[in-house]
A and B are shown apart, each in its own frame.
Chain A
């Protein structure tokens, strides 16, 4: 009897431990989207990469863009960020610089500047709509710099062996062209691997897919770290038949960018990090 009791206690204990472990494994939807947001936009303290963009229209005509992006997280947590975009191609926009101070707060617009080298002109850009095309591609500004988590209501609609499916419904539907979008998030890396946008009549009209994920080695506080990074992605506009492919190369994290890079001084004369 005593033995049986011990066994029972042990079984209970094991069950308890197991269920706690199980509970720990189950993230809330808020935790999932926060982790995904972090994985997609905030890895490292800063980073740089070269982006090759190919825009293909329905007739198969191609446009190409090449630019370097420098990015740094400003302030604490996954909040404000600064972006420095230096264009290398096509030749009519070559050496143009686009500077963004991203304000994470929902009701505050980003600060944006554009530098036009042939006029030596620093332009302040009035752009309140974040869902406009990024440099004529099928990517929107919000795809490139991230959509505020506060802007949508999130529901975990499905959990598979590999990932989570989160349905995001805008809190202000009049401000956007979609009625909702699904994000499929990889369980291991928390990278969003696919996004599907549905229009107001409930029809799928736009997708963004991560085609390739690479582990980028870096150092953080003198320790080796690896950042899973989506290095190739594809947007499809199912209505216009246009697609845009983005390939990232020379990806580096924690390179110690100075905050002063994201100011007028470097707009006018970009740093070596942006030119190379």
Chain B
């Protein structure tokens, strides 16, 4: 696999060299930047659990946030900085995150390059990700921060090649960016080792992959449009984004993962249909006989969305997660975990309803995940109102249901919370 990475890396260097050779004086400094555009927002957000959680605070989210967004461009490139400063009332800490810090250029007719910290998304799922292996912030998502924060930034180089036959995106992340997975800091979770729900008493700490150019990731997408049907093939060579393995000593870590997939999206009848498939090859345990490492999986998705009335949209999705090597999974499962064993086929149905009212200033939305196999559900109702062009407020909730304490959504039942936020944009 490292050899494969090396070849792709060599490709980058070569294309960079071509670009450099194309320029007579590549080291010439820019004479001026365009006038920078400065924007951002100030936001207050608070949320509470609607029930007691033994292992978490009653406050689910309590942020006072400033986002600054500075953008400028000149003839040959775009420059972007976006950073968040916030006071986090749950952890009682002042925090800062660079969301974006990148340089973009179109050196050649057929090439786009974006270097630096950036948010990356592809694939066709709506809040279900099969071939999008870019980092997510599940903690922010589940406590009720803005959807923007579901996507965590990547420190990456993105090269996009365009041709009449197909387009190719290559993203190289020199140092692994994991998801901001559930650690117990904000959200309590099922702890298999303890055999119960845990939270701040058992914070998950995984062995980070922090070696530059060794713990690296490559993501690729080959795509084209045929009559506005969007076809894509995907590849990913990296690691499970949340700790998918444990060392014999009990330390969580990120085992290797390769993903291969495809998708199609386009108009069907009055709406938009999409289908996506992905093969998750758990490279450290391809045979499925290591009980400490995630088994390989197949993931399938079908989706359809349609405008069912004026300013009223509905979208449904059907998703299957198939555990491969299921017999081996069962055979090597420790007896203590038998009661919480996974199904071979985990199925999830989602429904999104969005209604716009009052000149589109009021948005009512509801996103529901429901798993008939796990018998659990996750509801995300939200009401968003724009008082003016600059001032908006919202109220929403994260509601979890489950018959068992250990299923994907069921484990979060005690994290059911409501939240409200007010934001001033400038």
Contacts and interface: CB of A to CB of B under 8 A. Distances in A.
A127 interface: yes
B392 interface: yes
Contacts of A272: 73
A187 B422 CA distance: 52
A40 to B, nearest CB: 24
A11 interface: no
Contacts of A131: 310
Nearest to A108: B267
B310 A132 contact: yes
Given A91-B426, A118-B148, A269 B78 contact: yes
A212 to B, nearest CB: 25
Interface string A57-77: 100010110000000000000
Contact of A57 (B147, B359, B425, B426): B359
Interface residues of B, number: 49
Interface in A27-58: 55, 57
B270 A55 contact: no
Interface in A221-276: 242, 260, 263-265, 269, 272, 275
A135 B360 CA distance: 7
Interface stretch (B116-124, B190-198, B294-302): B116-124
A120 interface: yes
Given A118-B148, A120-B118, A126-B307, A94 B39 contact: yes
A24 B181 CA distance: 75
Interface in A55-114: 55, 57, 61, 63-64, 89-92, 94, 101, 109, 111
Contact of B306 (A91, A128, A137): A128
B388 interface: yes
A131 B425 CA distance: 30
A260 to B, nearest CB: 8
Most buried by B among A57, A101, A127, A135: A127
Interface residues of A, number: 38
B234 to A, nearest CB: 15
B270 to A, nearest CB: 5
A111 B41 CA distance: 32
Interface in B29-46: 39-41
Contacts of A128: 270-271, 306-307
Given A109-B267, A136-B360, A101 B228 contact: yes
Contacts of B426: 91
A92 B270 CA distance: 29
Contacts of A55: 359
Contacts of A61: 388
A91 B272 CA distance: 29
B223 to A, nearest CB: 8
Given A91-B39, A119-B151, A126 B167 contact: no
B306 A126 contact: yes
B160 interface: yes
Contacts of B305: 126
Contact of A133 (B114, B223, B311): B311
A177 B73 CA distance: 45
Nearest to B67: A118
B225 interface: yes
B389 A64 contact: yes
B390 A90 contact: yes
A150 interface: no
A102 to B, nearest CB: 12
A171 to B, nearest CB: 19
Contact of B360 (A101, A121, A133, A265): A133
A91 B310 contact: no
In the A-B complex, list the 7 residue pairs whose CB atoms are closest, starting with the nearest.
A136-B360, A90-B389, A91-B425, A120-B121, A126-B271, A118-B148, A126-B272
20 contacts: A89-B389, A90-B425, A91-B389, A91-B425, A91-B426, A92-B41, A92-B392, A101-B228, A109-B270, A120-B121, A120-B151, A122-B121, A126-B313, A128-B306, A135-B360, A136-B361, A260-B162, A264-B225, A264-B230, A275-B73
Interface of A: 55, 57, 61, 63-64, 89-92, 94, 101, 109, 111, 118-122, 124-129, 131-133, 135-137, 242, 260, 263-265, 269, 272, 275
